[in-house]
Amino acid sequence: QVQLVESGGGLVQAGGSLRLSCAASGRTFSMYTMGWFRQAPGKERELVAAISSGGSTNYADSVKGRFTISRDNAKNMLYLQLNSLKPADTAVYYCAAAGAPYLVTTPQGYHYWGQGTQVTVSS
């Protein structure tokens, strides 16, 4: 069982930055692939970025070069650095854990979810 708690969301102007954090419980955090997803009103939940237990990463095309996913296994923490934010990035951002060591890119592959944190980017 893994419990996930996100923090760091907020309101920011276009071009600004935020850093999202996800605190995970459990002793096997390092074995999980972790992901950040987002969901805007009226849209499906989509992958933003994922990081495997070995550190391999995958990004949505819309965020490549702007967002960076990282993890600190010693602290059971997952991060998402959001730079050059755009109004289109406005959404609820969710942290998720997949019970697999390899990259997982679909929501269906993730077993544990946080409650989400709102990111709002004003123009």
User: What is the per-residue pLDDT across 24-80, written as a single tens digit (0 to 9) for each?
Assistant: 997 788 889 999 999 999 999 999 999 999 999 999 999 999 999 999 999 999 999
Round to whole Å and give the CA distance between 61 and 71: 21
pLDDT averaged over the chain?
Answer: 95
Q: Pairing mode, if any, of strands 91-98 and 112-113? A: antiparallel
Rounded CA Rg of the chain: 13
> What integer pLDDT is reported at residue 94 of this predicted model?
98
If DSSP codes are grouped into helix, strand and coil, which group holds residue 82?
Answer: strand
> Which stretches of 1-123 are DSSP H helices?
none
> What pLDDT shows up at residue 78?
98
| pLDDT the model gives residue 28 | 86
What is the pLDDT, as a whole number, of residue 101? 79
pLDDT in the model for residue 63: 98
C-alpha span between 99 and 110 (Å, rounded): 7
